[in-house]
Amino acid sequence: MISGNVWEQYSKKVQDRMNNPKAMGEFNQNDADKIGARLIVADFGAESCGDAVRLFWLVDEKTDTIIDSKFKSFGCGTAIASSDAMAELCIGKKVDDAIKITNTEVEQYLRDDENTPAVPPQKMHCSVMAYDVILEAAAQYKGVDRESLQNIDIVCECARKTKQDIITAIRDYDLTTVEQIGEKTKAGTYCKSCVRPGGHEPRDIYLVDILEETRKLIDQESLEKSANTTQTGENSFDKMTIVQRIKAVDAVIDEFIRPMLVMDGGDMEIIDIKENIPHYDIYIRYLGACGSCASGSTGTLYAIESTLKQKVDENIRVLPI
């Protein structure tokens, strides 16, 4: 039995279409012949929940316009309401425009007000199914494979957001959390299966993975830009304060040097940076295993100095103490 509190999570439009769908029904070839249209019948089933929907289109082939649209749904009330809205949204559209009807558009069409979701997050997959059956119908009409009509790089099925959509948002808005990604793109705000492993539907890649990968690239690009800027004279090393110099050197060490040392059980720290024109002498102290390693004054030292010369300033000398 469904409690009153649960029903409150569904908009009145959804509840009405559950009980009184407007576009439920079917067309046959006689219906198509009467108006000189082409009949399209497409099926799609969701393996995760067992729901299925059949979509009927009558299409004017001269203009590629969907004259009328009906559906049959074999599933829950939410699937019926979503399919009903989807079929209604198709009417009067060209096939290419119908493909652009996303599941988020279906869900928003069913809202009572623009700020309140029409269905609970775990039911968003029902509108995903509505989008999928449109792709099936369009592919059949065009005589192509469905894969040619969709971006298979979808990460969030609910919001129909691709990996590139997510990466672009992270870069454009300098996003640092999954919550911020949701605010900007709606990805991960419905069923949440795409946020991280453990949701009701497994994914090949999750928002947390894309965020981590993209932030690493942004940090690396920023570091390289900073190093290049230093070498070209803008905010050059010789014009920095001692604190700025230490930060610049530390940033390069953290990115390119410290990981190598830590892998061998060692580390290092900057003790001081002194001007000895034309050189900048950087005094360091080895830590851990590096403190007793013979290469600290040969190969390791050369690698550290070469990296700092390349990334920060060509006049740097590194002196262990």
Known catalytic residues are: 49, 126
Listed residue (77, 74, 70, 29) closest to 51, CA to CA: 74
Is residue 21 within 8 Å of 80, Cβ to Cβ?
yes
Instruction: Give 237-279 as a DSSP string.
Output: GGGS-HHHHHHHHHHHIIIIIHHHHHHTTEEEEEEEEEEETTE
Instruction: Give 21-56 as a DSSP string.
Output: -SSB----HHHHHHTT-EEEEEEEE-TTT--EEEEE
Exposure letters 157-179 (e unless 16+ CB within 10 A, then b): bbbbbebebbbebbeeeebeebe
Structure tokens that stand for 168 in this block: 């672009």
Parallel, antiparallel or unpaired: strands 316-320 and 279-288: parallel
Structure tokens that stand for 174 in this block: 């300098």
Residues in the chain: 321
Listed residue (244, 250, 242) closest to 311, CA to CA: 250
Structure tokens that stand for 16 in this block: 């009405």
Using only the alpha carbons of the chain, give its radius of gyration: 30
How far is it, in rounded angstroms, from Cα 89 to Cα 66? Answer: 10
How far is it, in rounded angstroms, from Cα 237 to Cα 82? Answer: 61
